[in-house]
């Protein structure tokens, strides 16, 4: 667990009905934020063991503004590592107050947790050995890789069923293992969020020539997950995030954490249509 101490500046009345998250934060004098350690560049653990990536950095900015609204001296802000498999359960149980990982907003997940306004937009893409056929039919009878416990795993299975392509799906515990299997010839292709695939591919210096396809097979919006039914906390987080998007902080964090990358049309739309400050 990584812990930060931020100064408190003002008062937010947290005694209204349904404000259980704020009450829990006040009781333990700590905001706990979960983050994925393996979803580079959106959420990961760096070489120093600290949270890094677009969403954790965005959450640091958001947490500072939340702390500025709470009359709690020396309020701690802690980062707790989560996995793709346990992240939503940890939110629902109250072990973490806010999930700051790469989390796609889906109806199924909203049965367990609530989400903030979208903070990122991405989509499933595929990485292939250079020169490999790009037509989906070419994957018939092949083994395809994907990160376990993600929306890409579900989307890939649905894509194959919808197109009538019969292929084996092999799920991996981390993206690095998937890329290794692709390089070893064990996979015909590896599927995942395009931003993650591009970053993983750019960071590899093992001489293997892979290509990340430009075409998105899905378009997905991502948000910060929090306890279901806590309208007071959700409104507070949405107001804070709206301010960070409206004043350009979110775009600046994108440039800082994904150097050289340009926001795609979907992310530009997220920045454009975010609720404005009053």
- Per DSSP, the three-state class of 83 is coil
- Torsion-angle region of 131 (φ positive above 0: left; ψ -120 to 50: alpha; else: beta): left
Burial letters 171-197, b for 16+ CB under 10 A, else e: ebebbeebbbbbbeeebbbbbbbbbbb
- What is the dihedral angle through the alpha carbons of 47, 124, 223, 29, rounded to the nearest 10 degrees? -30
Count, in order, helices (H) and strands (E) of the chain: 9, 16
d(CA 154, CA 53): 24
Specify the pTM: 0.76
User: Hey, where are the domains in the chain?
Assistant: 2-121+221-273, 124-212
The secondary structure element, H or E, covering residue 35 is: strand 30-36
**Which pLDDT value is given to residue 230?**
94
- Per DSSP, the three-state class of 30 is strand
**Which pLDDT value is given to residue 82?**
95
* Closest among 218, 209, 198, 225 to 110, alpha carbons compared: 225
Backbone torsions φ then ψ of 68, nearest 5 degrees: -65, -15
Residues lower than pLDDT 50 in the chain: 5-19
Residue with tokens 């969403």: 55
**Which pLDDT value is given to residue 147?**
94
Q: CB neighbours (10 Å) of residue 131?
A: 7
CB 42, CB 54: distance < 8 Å:
yes
**Which pLDDT value is given to residue 276?**
63
Burial letters 230-250, b for 16+ CB under 10 A, else e: bebbbebbbbbbbbbbeeebb
39: CB partners within 8 A, 6+ apart: 53, 84, 101, 102, 175, 193, 196
Q: Indicate the CATH number of 124-212 among 3.40.630.20, 3.40.190.10, 3.40.50.300, 3.30.2350.10.
A: 3.40.190.10
CB 243, CB 58: distance < 8 Å:
no
CB 213, CB 129: distance < 8 Å:
no
CB 119, CB 55: distance < 8 Å:
yes
d(CA 6, CA 228): 26
d(CA 55, CA 193): 15
Q: Indicate the CATH number of 2-121+221-273 among 3.40.190.10, 3.20.20.140, 3.40.50.1100, 3.40.718.10.
A: 3.40.190.10
Q: Tens digit of pLDDT for each residue in 165-216?
A: 999 999 999 898 999 999 999 999 999 988 888 888 887 766 678 999 888 8
């Amino acid at each position: 667990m990584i812990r930060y101490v931020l100064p408190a500046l003002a008062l937010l009345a947290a005694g209204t009905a349904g404000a259980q998250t704020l009450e829990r934060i006040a009781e333990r004098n700590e905001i706990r934020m979960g983050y994925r350690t393996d979803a580079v560049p959106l959420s990961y653990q760096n070489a120093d063991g600290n949270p890094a990536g677009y969403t954790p950095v965005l959450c640091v900015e958001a947490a500072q503004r939340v702390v500025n609204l709470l009359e709690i001296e020396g309020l701690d802000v802690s980062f707790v590592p989560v996995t793709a498999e346990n992240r939503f359960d940890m939110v629902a149980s109250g072990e973490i107050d806010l999930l700051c990982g790469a989390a796609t907003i889906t109806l199924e997940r909203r049965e367990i947790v609530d989400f903030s306004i979208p903070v990122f937009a991405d989509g499933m893409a595929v990485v292939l050995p250079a020169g490999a056929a790009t037509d989906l039919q070419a994957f018939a009878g092949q083994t395809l890789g994907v990160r376990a416990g993600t929306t890409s795993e579900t989307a890939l299975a649905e894509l194959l069923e919808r197109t009538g392509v019969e292929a084996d799906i092999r799920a991996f515990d981390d993206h690095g293992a998937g890329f290794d299997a692709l390089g070893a010839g064990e996979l015909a292709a590896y599927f995942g969020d395009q931003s993650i695939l591009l970053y993983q591919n750019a960071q590899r210096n093992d001489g293997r020539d892979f290509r990340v396809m430009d075409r998105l097979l899905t378009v997905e919006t991502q948000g910060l997950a929090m306890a279901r039914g806590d309208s007071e906390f959700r409104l507070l987080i949405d107001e804070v995030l709206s301010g960070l998007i409206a004043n350009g902080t979110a775009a600046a964090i994108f440039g800082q954490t994904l150097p050289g990358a340009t926001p795609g049309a979907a992310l530009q739309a997220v920045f454009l249509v975010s609720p404005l400050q009053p």
